[in-house]
Structure formats: C-alpha cells, structure tokens
C-alpha cells in the first residue's frame, strides 16, 4: 500500500513538473480580453408555421380559370408579301410579276359576347389578309375585322357560329386595386389555353414618357409572353379587367412585369366601333403635365400630386367650364388624379359630350367644375408612303362633287408628287374602305404592315374617279 502511494505521489509530481515546464518554455504568450454587453443578439425572426394550401384572401384560382379559359381564343393571321423572282425584278423594286409567300402570326383574343364578338390587339391582326380563330374546343372559324383602334392597340373581330359561345363579362378596371390577384389567360408560344397568376403591380402606367400619345396601362407580374397579346387579364371573379398587350424586356420574353389595356377603355372603344364605326374620342381641352419641384415653387403649390394645367385650349369644354392656367386637377368624378396618365386613362373611357366633374385646386382653394368633353379631331395627316397631306373637307366642299364622304389632299410632300397639282383632290377610299375623316385614314394606314401596298381611290377636280396603288 505504501509502495502504491509512493508511486502515485511521484506520478503527480512528474505531471506537475512537465506541465510547468511546457507553460514556461514552450507555449506562446497570449492575451485574452473578455467583454460583456447588455445588448440583445441580432437575428432575423422566422415563422415555422406551415403555409401549405394557403391562398391569400381565400381566392380560389380554379373558379376564375374555369370561367375564362374557354372564352380565350387563338388568333392566327395570314398575309402575303411580294418577293421578286429574279435580279431584274429586284432592281426594278419588285416591279412586274412576282410570287406570293404566305406568312403567319399568332396571338390571343377574348370572346365578349355569346354571338361571336372578339376583342384582341390591333398589332395581332395588322396587315392580315385572312384571320382564323380557334376556340379551346379546337373548332376553327374565319374571322372578320369589324374595326380597329391602332392608337389604343385594340381590334374588334366577329365570327359566325351556330352555337352560343362562352364569353367573359367586363369588370370595372377603375375598381381594380394594386396588390389584387389577377390571372392572365392566353396562348404564349402557341401553347393554347395557358393560365398564369400574379398581382396588379401598378396602374396608369405610361410606357411612352416622351410621346404625345399618353398611355394608361395596368401593370401586372402575371407571366405574359409572345402569343399572350390580345388575351384576357381577369380578376378573382373571372371578370375581364384588361387586354394583355405588351411586355418590356431585353430578351423579348417575360422578365417580371407586363402591361394590359384597362377593360373600361377597351369596352368604350368596342362600343364606339359597333355603334359609330369609329372611335369617338372625347378630350378635356387642356395641356399640362405632372407636378415638378419647379412647378411647385413657381406657382406656390402645396400639393405634389395631380395634373398641372399649363394651357387651356380655346373653344374647349375646359375653357367653357372655367378651368384656368395654374389650376391643379386633383379628382375627376371622384377618382383621384395623381399624374397625367390617370387623367388620360379616365377621359379615354368617355365620349364627346359626356360631362365629367373636375375637382381642381386653385390658389389653395378647391373647386369642382362640370366639363363637357369635346370631340378629338386630327386636323391633318401625312400619308408618307403616298407623299401627300390630307385634311378634313371644308364645309360644303364634298357636295361640289356629289360625294358624301372623303378627305381632301391639302398639299404634296414628296418631290414625285409635287410635280402634280393635287391640292383639292378628294380621296374617297383607302384600301377599298370608305373614309369620312383624317382619323379614319390614319387608322387604316396604321393597321398596315411594312411594305404593304396602299390602294388610293380618288375623285379629281373634274369629277373623274381614279385608283392608284402605292408601294
């Protein structure tokens, strides 16, 4: 026992001596500083609650999809282009005989009545010599173009069917809210009956900031790709609140957001085409824009949102109602106006002679003025491919030629046309369509594809009818 204790003591002493020698001669000297803090640790809280099967606001997307998928159609367009058959024809700018090649484009459309009216984009059908519409049940029909509005990129088609067709009812696009869930229904990349979901990202979006044609699109992050153009943007109830029209992308495909013509604007255009044969565009009669810091300082404005009135047109509804330079438009018919696209988007859903209630801020005082909208008229239009400028006929001018329709050549623009005395000649038809105004001429020309022939029918000052083809 004594021997064991002696060995234990020797072992302990040996270990102690070894550790002390290591600490003294081998271990590098270090200094450790300990601090304490009363601050709470920084972290990102996480929720571990399962979201499986959760749908915001309890929206059932299947209901809206089932209501709409059978009312969205595939629109195919066929056209022809002339190509020279040999070098000689090429050098003659394609003159003489030439061969025709069928070309095809495709998009979507929305059935809006049970008897076959279909709304789509104008760019889907522009330049087509033949249109074919295929329903979700694979039945195909020839379609007729009833009317177009190139400025708004809306076109109205009609098919004849012996059956009552499934259609999508119009919703109120003004009532649609940012953050609201929507579905895009169409035929992207020729994949028929495709439904995608997203939210409304913004409203009254203008893509042409420096263009006189102020737009007012609904912006959505529902996936929209080539082929979706002319398709439906619907709310959770399955109501049509927009016509899918455009994407902004460097690749040409969906990158996160897309744009639709609001349904209120599309419906108004369609109603005008059916009732009048052309779009009846009402205007307020002001020139202005969004508020800038310079405007606020110059006119002592206290508001940073609204439409600033820089000029009021003579003989306009705005002038007659009492709007003045320096007024700040805040509301129209109770709808908040934060920027110019809000104003144009709402006014474009109205017709000439409609009365709207315009709330303005004038020298820090609110006024509500009833304004009667006046009809938008294009005073002159350049038919560039023909080389002439046309104007609406002066009062009583057409009667001299026993005509009840037509526009008048005001002057020649191109050197080729300036060789002739064209002033006063009446153009009665463009592409075999009667024209009653400069706006109708513009719409026909805008709907044509590049390098497509233009057929002009006219009556000269001797009353002789002539027809010319320009390329």
Decide if 217 contacts 264 (C-beta within 8 A).
no
Question: Long-range pairs for 452-457 at CB < 8 Å and ≥24 separation?
Answer: 452/79, 452/81, 452/127, 454/383, 454/385, 454/386, 454/430, 455/429, 455/430, 455/431, 456/386, 456/427, 456/429, 456/430, 457/427, 457/428, 457/429, 457/430, 457/432
User: Which pLDDT score, from 0 to 100, does residue 86 have?
Assistant: 53
Annotated catalytic residue within 173, 229, 263, 316: 229
Better-predicted residue by pLDDT, 11 or 255:
255
Q: Is 153 a catalytic residue?
A: yes
Q: How do the domains of the chain map onto residue ranges?
A: 62-158, 173-276, 282-375, 380-470
pLDDT of 254 > 80? The answer is no
Indicate if the pLDDT at residue 29 is higher than 50: no
Consecutive H or E run containing 65: helix 61-68
* Beta carbons of 146 and 282 less than 8 angstroms apart: no
User: Contact 200/179 with Cβ under 8 angstroms?
Assistant: yes
Burial of 111 (0-12, 13-18, 19+ CB in 10 A): buried
Q: Of the given ranges (115-124, 152-161, 183-192, 253-262), which has the lowest mean pLDDT?
A: 253-262
**Paired sense of beta strands 365-372 and 355-362, if any:** antiparallel
- What does the angle CA 96 – CA 101 – CA 106 come to, to the nearest 5 degrees? 140
Burial code of 167-206, b = ≥16 C-beta within 10 A, e = fewer? Answer: bbebbebeebeeebbbbbbbbbeeebbbbbbbebbebbbb
pLDDT averaged over the chain? 82
**Percentage of residues in the chain having pLDDT higher than 70:** 79
Q: Which CATH number fits domain 173-276: 3.30.70.20, 2.40.10.10, 3.40.109.10, 3.40.50.720?
A: 2.40.10.10
- pLDDT above 90 coverage of the chain, percent: 51
453 catalytic, yes or no? no
pLDDT band, residue 44 (cuts 50/70/90): very low
Both tokens assigned to 346: 């709402």
Residue 21 has pLDDT above 80, yes or no: no
Q: pTM above 0.75?
A: no
CB atoms within 10 A of CB 12: 10
Neighbouring residues of 414: CB distance < 8 A, sequence distance ≥ 6 = 387, 388
Catalytic residue among 108, 123, 272, 342: 123
Instruction: Reply yes or no on whether the pLDDT at 23 is more than 50.
Output: no
Which CATH number fits the domain 62-158, given the four candidates 1.20.58.410, 3.30.470.20, 1.10.443.10, 2.40.10.10?
A: 2.40.10.10
**Catalytic site residue 74?**
no
Contact 142, 128 (CB under 8 A): no
Measured distance CA(237)–CA(226) in Å, rounded:
26
**Catalytic hit among 153, 206, 221, 327:** 153
Length of the chain: 471
Residue 34 has a pLDDT of 31
Q: What is the pLDDT of residue 57?
A: 53
**CATH topology assigned to domain 282-375:** Pdz3 Domain (2.30.42)
Q: Beta strands 117-120 and 99-111: pairing type?
A: antiparallel
Q: Do domains 62-158 and 380-470 have the same CATH topology?
A: no
pLDDT digits (tens, 9 = 90+) for 195-214: 999 999 999 988 764 344 55
Class of residue 5 by CB neighbours under 10 A (exposed 0-12, middle 13-18, buried 19+): exposed
pLDDT value for 288: 87
Provide the 10 A C-beta neighbour count for residue 402.
8
List pLDDT tens digits, range 95-143.
444 455 565 788 999 999 999 999 999 999 987 889 999 999 999 999 9
Q: What is the pLDDT of residues 307-347, one digit of tens each?
A: 999 999 988 999 999 999 999 999 999 999 999 989 999 99
The pLDDT, as a whole number, for residue 230 is 95
Residue 12 has pLDDT above 50, yes or no: no
Q: What is the pLDDT of residue 102?
A: 67
* pLDDT tens digits for range 255-301: 678 999 999 999 999 999 999 888 888 999 998 888 888 888 888 88
DSSP label at 170? B
Residue pLDDT, tens place only, 352-392:
999 999 999 998 899 999 999 998 877 789 998 899 999 99
Fold of 380-470: Pdz3 Domain (2.30.42)
DSSP 109: E
Chain segment 62-88, per-residue pLDDT in tens:
989 999 999 999 999 987 655 555 545
């Amino acid at each position: 026992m004594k021997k064991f204790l002696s060995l234990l003591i020797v072992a302990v002493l040996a270990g102690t001596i070894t550790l002390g020698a290591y600490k003294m001669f081998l271990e590098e000297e270090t200094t450790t500083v300990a601090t304490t803090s009363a601050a709470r640790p920084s972290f990102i809280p996480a929720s571990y609650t399962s979201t499986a099967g959760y749908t915001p606001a309890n929206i059932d997307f299947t209901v809206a999809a089932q209501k709409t998928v059978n009312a969205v159609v595939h629109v195919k367009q066929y056209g022809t282009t002339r190509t020279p058959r040999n070098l000689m024809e090429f050098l003659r700018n394609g003159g003489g005989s030439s061969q025709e090649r069928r070309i095809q484009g495709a998009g979507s459309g929305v059935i809006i009545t049970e008897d076959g009216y279909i709304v789509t984009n104008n760019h889907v059908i522009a330049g087509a010599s033949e249109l074919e519409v295929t329903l979700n049940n694979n039945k195909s029909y020839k379609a007729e173009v009833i009317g177009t509005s190139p400025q708004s990129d809306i076109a109205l088609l009609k098919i004849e069917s012996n059956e009552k067709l499934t259609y999508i009812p119009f919703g109120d696009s003004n009532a649609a809210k940012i953050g609201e869930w929507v579905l895009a229904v169409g035929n992207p990349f020729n994949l028929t009956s495709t439904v995608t979901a997203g939210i409304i990202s913004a409203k009254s979006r203008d893509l042409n900031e420096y263009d006189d044609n102020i737009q007012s699109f609904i912006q959505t992050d529902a996936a929209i790709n080539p082929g979706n153009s002319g398709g439906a943007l619907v709310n959770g109830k399955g109501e049509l609140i927009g016509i899918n029209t455009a994407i902004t992308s460097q690749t040409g495909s969906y990158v996160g957001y897309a744009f639709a013509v609001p349904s209120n604007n599309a419906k108004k255009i369609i109603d005008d085409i059916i009732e009048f044969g052309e779009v009846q565009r009402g205007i307020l009669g002001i020139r202005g824009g969004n508020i800038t810091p310079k405007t606020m300082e110059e006119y002592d404005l206290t508001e940073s949102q609204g439409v600033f009135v820089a000029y009021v047109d003579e003989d306009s509804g705005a002038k007659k109602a009492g709007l003045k330079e320096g007024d700040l438009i805040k509301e129209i018919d109770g709808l908040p106006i934060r920027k110019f696209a809000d104003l144009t988007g709402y006014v474009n859903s109205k017709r000439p002679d409609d009365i709207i209630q315009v709330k303005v801020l004038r020298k820090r005082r609110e006024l509500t003025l009833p304004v009667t909208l006046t009809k938008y008229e294009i005073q002159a239009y350049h038919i560039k491919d023909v080389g002439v400028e046309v104007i609406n006929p002066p009062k009583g001018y057409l009667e001299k030629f026993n005509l009840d329709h037509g526009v008048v050549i005001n002057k020649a623009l191109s050197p080729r046309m300036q060789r002739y005395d064209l002033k006063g000649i009446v153009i009665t038809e463009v592409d075999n369509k009667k024209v009653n105004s400069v706006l109708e001429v513009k719409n026909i020309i805008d709907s044509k594809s590049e390098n497509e022939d233009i057929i002009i029918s006219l009556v000269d000052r001797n009353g002789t009818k002539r027809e010319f083809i320009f390329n």
